Amino acid sequence: MVFWRIVEGARREVGSDTERVAQALLRRLRALTSVEIEQFEELWFQAQDELYRWPIRDAATLLLGPFDDDDFLAVQDWIVSHGRSTMQRVQDDPDSLVELARDRHNARIDWFCGLPLEAYIAVTGAPSAIGGCPGSDAPAGSPAELTDEARTRQRFPRLTTYLDKNPWIERPWEHGAN
C-alpha cells in the first residue's frame, strides 16, 4: 500500500472539490484490508504531525483568519489531502499556503477526520483499536507576532499580498491580537 498514491489518486479522480476528494478517499479506503486501513491512518497522523508547526499555523491564520486548535487539525488534513508535493512546499515555505487560496473555503471543514475509522467499520463491522493522533501538545517552533505588520509582511510576502487583494479577510495587525 502506498499512502500518497491513495491520497493523490483520490484528488486526481475527482479534481479540486475537496468534499468529493474525501468521498473518493473513503471509497479507496473501503477497498483496503483492515490492516492496510490501520497503516493508512498511522501514516495520515504522521503527515498531520509534520504540519503541526507554528510557521504553518501562522500562515494559515493569515489565509483563513483566526481559528482554534480543532480547526488547525482540519487545516492540516486539508493540506495533506492536496498531496505530497503540496505538503512539502508548505513545510519548506509556509508562505506557499497561498497557492491553496482558491480552496480556502474547505480548509476548516472536517472532511477527513474519521474516514479511516468509517472504512474500518465498513470492512470489519467493528471499530478499530487505533487511538487518536499521538502528536505533541503544542506546535513545533515559536509563533510569529502577526500583529507586527512589517515583520509579518517580510516573513509572509505572498500571503500578505493576498490579504491586500482581499480586504474582507481579517488582518492580525489591525486588531492587535495574534
pLDDT in tens, 15-30: 888 999 999 999 999 9
Q: Cell 508548505 belongs to which residue?
A: 90
Helices (H), the chain: 3-14, 18-30, 34-50, 54-64, 69-81, 84-92, 115-124, 149-155, 157-165, 172-175
- pLDDT confidence of residue 106: 92
Q: Which tops the pLDDT comparison, 146 or 133?
A: 146
Q: How far apart are CA 137 and CA 74, in angstroms?
A: 16
Q: How far apart are CA 39 and CA 36, in angstroms?
A: 5
pTM confidence score: 0.92
Residue 132 has pLDDT above 60, yes or no: no
- pLDDT confidence of residue 158: 98
Residue 137 has pLDDT above 90, yes or no: no
Q: Is 126 helix (H, G, I), strand (E, B) or coil?
A: coil
Mean pLDDT of the region 113-126? 91
* All three cell numbers of 85: 508535493
Residue 130 has pLDDT above 80, yes or no: no
User: To 10 degrees, what angle do helices 3-14 and 18-30 make?
Assistant: 130
Q: Cell 507576532 belongs to which residue?
A: 145
- pLDDT confidence of residue 178: 46
Mean pLDDT of the region 79-94? 97
Residue 100 CB neighbour total at 10 angstroms? 20
